[in-house]
Amino acid sequence: MEVDWATLTAEAVEASRHAYVPYSRFPVGVAGLVDDGRVVSGCNVENAAYGVTLCAECGMVSDLVRTGGGRLVAVSCVNALGEALMPCGRCRQLLWEHGGPQCRVLTPQGVCTMSQVLPQAFGSADLQHVAEAEGSADAAGQ
């Protein structure tokens, strides 16, 4: 799918303006293109209990699921300067779940795939693998 990175990044910048960041003063915005052409977005939402802060990507994934689901095909995440911001490790895992290895991410080093930014990712296939192995062991009476 053709990706208009400038438009997607503009959506991310718009989302960042809604960030709730009284503690870090570090607004983040993110926008994702969905495989049906929708654009979903999110901003970070902090908390007095710092550890429960929601990254912008959490909001975007919630927006994705709430508005009908689908697969993320491209993601642009920005800081307050509108520069590409690398999603944190936990959020790469979120993006992996909903975009998979081919989802493209705009990084400070250009467009990368999720498999490049989260190599050897843990995912649903790892759960299925064990469930299937246990299922066939059960069927064999082991």
Catalytic residue positions, numbered: 57
Residues in a beta bridge with 110:
107
Q: Residue 20 interacts with ligand THU (CB under 6 A)? A: no
C-alpha pair distances (Å), 128 with each of 44, 54, 70, 124, 138: 32, 28, 20, 6, 15
Using CA atoms, how far apart are residues 28 and 15, in angstroms rounded to an integer? Answer: 8
Interface residue with ligand THU, options 33, 63, 84, 87 (CB under 6 A) = 87
Q: How far is the CB of 101 from ligand THU (least distance, A)?
A: 19
Q: How far apart are the first and last CA of the chain?
A: 47
Q: How far is the CB of 47 from ligand THU (least distance, A)?
A: 9
Residues in a beta bridge with 49:
none
Measured from the CB atom, the residue of 90 and 129 that comes closer to ligand THU is: 90
Interface residue with ligand THU, options 56, 60, 105, 106 (CB under 6 A) = 56
Residues that bind ligand THU (CB under 6 A): 21, 24, 26, 28, 44, 46, 53, 55-57, 87-88, 91
